[in-house]
């Protein structure tokens, strides 16, 4: 995909270099219109291809009515499956279990399948490229549908994330970085590369693709145990009863997706147009800290679109930490980014840069002027989240960029189960600008030597001393309170609270009085 646009990027870079004065004036420079025109021709040739059409009138070769649900006999489906099986190393069989998943994708979840078909236009070319690189079967692209329905930001109830649903431990084992700033599981390129490495390892271990798929879902250990319990048999259908319940349906679902994605028109299924296709995006190397909000304003983009295309960056910014970073953008914005790269980095820096001002007519105890520095800091803040139907604890944790264990601790939860309408307390971090006042050393030195600064020309009434803080206060326990929450609220430790309240235990009662000493 990137090779397609080499000429485009090269020409755009030359055009951007030729425009004088862009960084000095901070004026947004336009992209080169000639190069844009060439790029539009390149992209349109791919998008007008039959494979990437979303026109149901064009794709409806059987003349179905809009909401018609075609059905076929077992003999017809079995014959189609045999034809598919002849061209793949997978053992694509047809049985009642597979038929159940065919009905799921073709009937009960028809709308979801249409969305997946649209998203396939964005991700399948990239996935196919990676699979070919590692010399593993191209049909494994359908595994991403089983795993995440091609949703790059999907997260499961147990914390698996991304297009290929990696758990954190396995992700790190295969080179995916997880930090406070970024989570590579949500980078489609990096996650697909890691998935290819893991699948190749599993196939080398079991020498069978069905068993490799089962191991991808439940882990190699569970597959080995199932093999031993089956008496040493090494095919999926023989060990199926000994596998975890979820894994028993995993391979049949994969077979059904293979079948459906190769017979969509027969089932009156058509892709829903995606936000963007793979040929409309490209990556650009980032050379400094980049703030998504600042860049979106310069490029005239919706920040939500930038976030969607770059889900790996959890805080909507790319850090300047000495590592190589790339940002994915629509091709129509790549030239604009290159032309305004310095401006984008400058605006990103301004978004975090503290502002300093010297306040006149204000003196300290010695008489020197005071300097007020405004700094951006992070501050804890509590939010209430109302659980929606079907929402998991992991999904709530991802939304607020916290962990499931933190949510359980803050709310006194003993399990991961949530109920619709349940209200959770979530601690988040928000940016806040604070003012720090300090003496100006130059003005203070002038005053000490008998000199007079501009700040001394006006008399200022002395600042009254603040009233002393109370030595202690009594807190009344409310519903949902824990010792940890109360301690955090007052900036003390649980040990100190128990020292001040000798009879205090971890079990709190509503209305209970607790003494807090300052």
Q: Which residues are catalytic?
A: 147
Residue (of 32, 29, 27) closest to 13 by Cα position: 32
Question: Do the Cβ atoms of 203 and 136 come closer than 8 Å?
Answer: yes
d(CA 219, CA 158): 14
Q: Helix/strand/coil (H, E, C) string of 63-94?
A: CCCCCCCCCCCHHHHHHHHHHHHCCCCCCCCC
Element (H, E) at 515: strand 513-517
Tokens of 370: 């005071």
Residue (of 114, 184, 108, 173) closest to 149 by Cα position: 114
**Which residue matches tokens 């300290």?**
364
Neighbouring residues of 281: CB distance < 8 A, sequence distance ≥ 6: 122, 309, 328, 329, 330, 331
Q: Are strands 325-330 and 281-286 parallel, antiparallel or unpaired?
A: antiparallel
CA angle 210, 214, 216 (to 5 degrees): 115
What backbone torsions phi and psi does residue 491 show, to the nearest 5 degrees?
70, 35
What backbone torsions phi and psi does residue 261 show, to the nearest 5 degrees?
-70, -15
Residue (of 328, 295, 320) closest to 5 by Cα position: 328
d(CA 168, CA 184): 10
**Strand ranges for 353-503 from DSSP E:** 355-363, 369-386, 423-439, 472-476
Q: What is the DSSP string of 238-297?
A: HHGGGS-HHHHTHHHHHHHHHHHHTSTGGGT--PPPPS--GGGEEEEEE-S-EEHHHHHH
Tokens of 81: 């499956």
Residue (of 82, 87, 149, 74) closest to 113 by Cα position: 149
Q: How far apart are the first and last CA of the chain?
A: 63
Rg (CA), the chain: 30
What backbone torsions phi and psi does residue 470 show, to the nearest 5 degrees?
-60, 145
Neighbouring residues of 474: CB distance < 8 A, sequence distance ≥ 6: 513, 514, 515, 516
Query: Cα torsion at 40, 41, 46, 52 (round to 10°)?
Result: 60
């Amino acid at each position: 995909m990137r090779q397609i646009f080499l000429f485009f990027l090269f020409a755009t870079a030359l055009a951007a270099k030729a425009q004088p004065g862009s960084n000095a004036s901070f004026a947004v420079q336009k992209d080169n219109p000639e190069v844009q025109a060439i790029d539009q021709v390149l992209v349109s040739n791919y998008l007008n291809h039959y494979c990437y059409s979303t026109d149901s009138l064009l794709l409806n070769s059987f003349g179905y009515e809009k909401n018609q649900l075609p059905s076929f006999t077992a003999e017809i489906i079995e014959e189609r499956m045999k034809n598919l099986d002849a061209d793949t190393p997978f053992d694509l069989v047809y049985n009642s279990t597979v038929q159940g998943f065919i009905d799921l994708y073709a009937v009960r979840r028809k709308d979801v399948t249409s969305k997946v078909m649209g998203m396939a236009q964005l991700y399948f070319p990239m996935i196919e490229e990676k699979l070919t690189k590692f010399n593993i079967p191209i049909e494994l692209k359908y595994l991403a549908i089983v795993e995440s329905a091609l949703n790059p930001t999907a997260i499961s109830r147990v914390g698996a994330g991304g297009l290929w649903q990696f758990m954190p431990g396995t992700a790190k084992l295969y080179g995916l970085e997880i930090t406070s700033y970024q989570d590579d599981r949500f980078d489609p390129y990096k996650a697909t590369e890691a998935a290819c490495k893991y699948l190749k390892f599993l196939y080398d271990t079991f020498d069978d693709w069905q068993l490799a798929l089962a191991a991808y879902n439940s882990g190699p250990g569970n597959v080995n145990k199932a093999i031993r319990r089956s008496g040493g048999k090494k095919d999926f259908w023989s060990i199926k009863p000994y596998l975890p319940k979820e894994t028993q349906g995993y391979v049949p679902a994969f077979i059904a997706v293979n079948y459906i994605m190769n017979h969509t028109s027969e089932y009156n299924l058509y892709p829903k147009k995606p936000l963007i296709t793979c040929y409309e995006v490209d990556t650009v190397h980032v050379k400094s800290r980049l703030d998504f909000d600042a860049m979106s304003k310069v490029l005239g983009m919706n920040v939500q679109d930038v976030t969607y295309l770059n889900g790996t960056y959890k805080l909507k910014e790319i850090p300047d930490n000495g590592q190589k970073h790339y940002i994915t953008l629509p091709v129509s914005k790549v030239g604009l980014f290159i032309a305004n790269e310095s401006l984008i980095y400058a605006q990103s820096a301004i978004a975090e840069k503290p502002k300093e001002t010297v306040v006149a007519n204000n003196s300290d105890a010695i008489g020197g002027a005071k300097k007020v520095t405004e700094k951006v800091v992070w501050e804890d803040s509590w939010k209430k989240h109302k659980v929606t139907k079907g929402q998991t604890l992991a999904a709530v944790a991802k939304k607020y960029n916290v962990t499931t264990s933190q949510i359980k601790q803050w709310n006194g939860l003993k399990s991961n189960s949530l109920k619709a309408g349940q209200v959770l307390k979530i601690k988040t971090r928000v940016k806040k600008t604070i003012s720090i006042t300090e003496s100006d050393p130059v003005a203070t030195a002038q005053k000490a030597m008998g000199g007079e600064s501009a700040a001394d020309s006006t008399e200022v009434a002395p600042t009254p001393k603040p009233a002393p803080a109370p030595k202690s206060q009594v807190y009344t326990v409310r519903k949902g309170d824990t010792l940890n929450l109360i301690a955090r609220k007052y900036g003390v430790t649980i040990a100190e609270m128990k020292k001040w309240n000798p009879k205090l235990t971890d079990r709190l009662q509503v209305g209970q009085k607790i003494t807090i000493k300052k």
